[in-house]
Chains A and B, each alone.
Chain A
Amino acid sequence: MKRPRALLAVVVPPLVVGLVFLSLWELLIRWRDVQPYVMVKPSAVWSALVDNVGPIRDAAFVTGGNAVAGLVLGTLLGVVLAVVASAVRPLGDLINPLATAVNAVPIVVVVAVLTRMYEADSETPRRIMAMLVVFFVVFVNVLRGLRETNATQLELMKSYAASPLQQFRTVRLPNAMPYLFTGIRVAAPLAVITAVVAEYFGGKKNGLGSGITSFLSTAKKDVGLAYVAGASALGVACFAAAAILEFVAVPWQRRRSSR
């Protein structure tokens, strides 16, 4: 347990930085008399947030739903294919460079193609987009976990005359678990970001992303920034959920995950 003083040293500096930042922002806009269609005060954002809690929450459910759907499907697909790829080596060698390429590319533009493949009011393109992004992260991580096993443990299993299936179940699979949960933790905020940005490419105007574009690009910047705050909260929530899941699911990893 941390002593109160140590805790204070961790909590106070970020609070001070945050307060200084917000006050500077507020004061700058008051002093220079910046027009609301250029930039708004943080206090205005706060009141907009309070006034629009309902719509923002509804939009967060739509976008969050898409992100979670993508996260779940992408994780499942990633795990299954990684298991197959660890057994069939060429498959891994095939998907790995693709994953590297996808990570370098703003893959979200593919949603432009997907929007036409589904009905205009369909959420599917956004979910598929989030799924694709999650899939590559999870696949790469799990495959690494399945391949990088402790040499001593593998020798031990051979000395036990364990069958390949036993070896997979007792060594490779548990060994890949921390990698899986790290992958989910990394992919969770990406799923949210993808789900938000995917809404920039048309489709039903019901999520955080469409709220952000429609308000932020007009004079109602306060409402737009309130939507951005909602999206940020969603991102942090997804990340926190994934981090807690990791903490609970792979306890032996706790002492190492000081990263």
Chain B
Amino acid sequence: MAYGMLAAGLVVGGWEAYRRWFGPWLGAEGNEVGTVLGWKILPRTSANLAMPPVEQMIDELTKPEVRGSSTAVWQAVLEATLMSLWLAFAALVLGAVVGLGVAIAMSRFKIVQRGLMPYLVISQTIPLIALAPLTVTWGGEISFFGFEWQKWTSAVVLGAFLSFFPLAIGATRGFASPTPAALELMESYASSWWSTWRRLRLPSAVPFLLPALRLAGSAAVFGVVVSEISVGYTEGIGYLTLNYLGEGTARPAKVFSAVLGTIALGLLMATAVGALDRFLGRRRPTQELV
């Protein structure tokens, strides 16, 4: 924690130092120091527009969101962050249910695993998030069980889609993790497949499920935030970021409060998953999914 504070302090310090002292000449138009192989690396600071001072960012938090509004920026950011958090939770639950179901099917039927596993593995290397804009036009066009597709549905479905894959992979590997000796032991007890699954495969999968859940949690957050932007769901923190970014010249420091909200969103999700981890009680060594 102390180190985390120190790290944050260093980021702020570096920002201010560059903004005040180095940026104005190193990042200035035509300064060759910041250009390597014809590629300009060092940012410009142009009159507090590009890199506003930290105190201005803090100041911005308490200002009204729009002129004359009674909501302060921090309230708007908090609301949007919580909204996105609920969406991400919903996405994670949905992704977990489907992911575990598929994993159970895969460990029950070898042929299902052979058919699906390659796709699950490949899914981790491709930008699935790119599908987010696909759902933009679905509002009012798709309905099921009397439920009409909404913009937030896009965010939840995308988040669930992204969190599904790591969970399915982790669970499948976990269910396959018992040693042959342990499986033979269960067989010698004439235990049914379900009974073996419940007593042996599921508990052995816990060390695989927890890191998978962590990955799935951040995938859900990522999916929700990015699809909010893609489909224009205005109540979440992702869209708010883009929205505030648009106010660039008028209130350059405003966007940072939204970025702060996004960071808080990720950390809140990580904390929630961590709490679940502790709740499950057994802090056994976990398997990293690499």
Residues on A lying within 8 angstroms of B by beta carbon are 9-10, 13-14, 16-18, 35, 37-39, 93-98, 100-101, 103-110, 112-119, 122-124, 182, 185-186, 188-189, 192-193, 196-197, 200-202, 208-209, 212-213, 216-219, 221, 224-225, 227-228, 231-232, 235-236, 238-239, 259
Residues on B lying within 8 angstroms of A by beta carbon are 3-4, 6-7, 10, 39-41, 43-45, 49-51, 111, 114-119, 122, 124-127, 129-131, 133-134, 136-138, 141-142, 214, 217-218, 221-222, 225-226, 229-231, 238, 241-242, 245, 248, 252, 255-256, 258-259, 262-263, 265-267, 269-270, 290
Are A239 and B125 also in contact (CB < 8 A) when A124-B41, A217-B136 are? yes
For residue B133, which residues in chain A have a CB less than 8 angstroms away from its CB? 212-213, 216-217, 224
Instruction: Flag if B226 contacts A189 (CB, 8 Å).
Output: no
Known: A97-B3, A112-B255, A231-B127. 10 other contacts (CB 8 A): A93-B3, A94-B6, A94-B10, A103-B218, A109-B241, A113-B259, A116-B248, A117-B44, A192-B127, A236-B126
For residue A200, which residues in chain B have a CB less than 8 angstroms away from its CB? 226, 229-230
Instruction: Flag if B40 contacts A124 (CB, 8 Å).
Output: yes
Interface of chain A, helix or strand or loop or mixed? helix
For residue A37, which residues in chain B have a CB less than 8 angstroms away from its CB? 137, 141
Instruction: Flag if A35 contacts B230 (CB, 8 Å).
Output: no
Q: Closest A-chain residue to B287, C-beta based? A: A259
For residue B265, which residues in chain A have a CB less than 8 angstroms away from its CB? 105-106
For residue A105, which residues in chain B have a CB less than 8 angstroms away from its CB? 218, 221, 262-263, 265-267
> In the bound complex, what is the Cα–Cα distance between A119 and B119 (angstroms)?
40
Instruction: Flag if B40 contacts A38 (CB, 8 Å).
Output: no
Q: Closest A-chain residue to B142, C-beta based? A: A38
> In the bound complex, what is the Cα–Cα distance between A108 and B242 (angstroms)?
12
Q: Closest B-chain residue to A236, C-beta based? A: B125
For residue B116, which residues in chain A have a CB less than 8 angstroms away from its CB? 14, 17
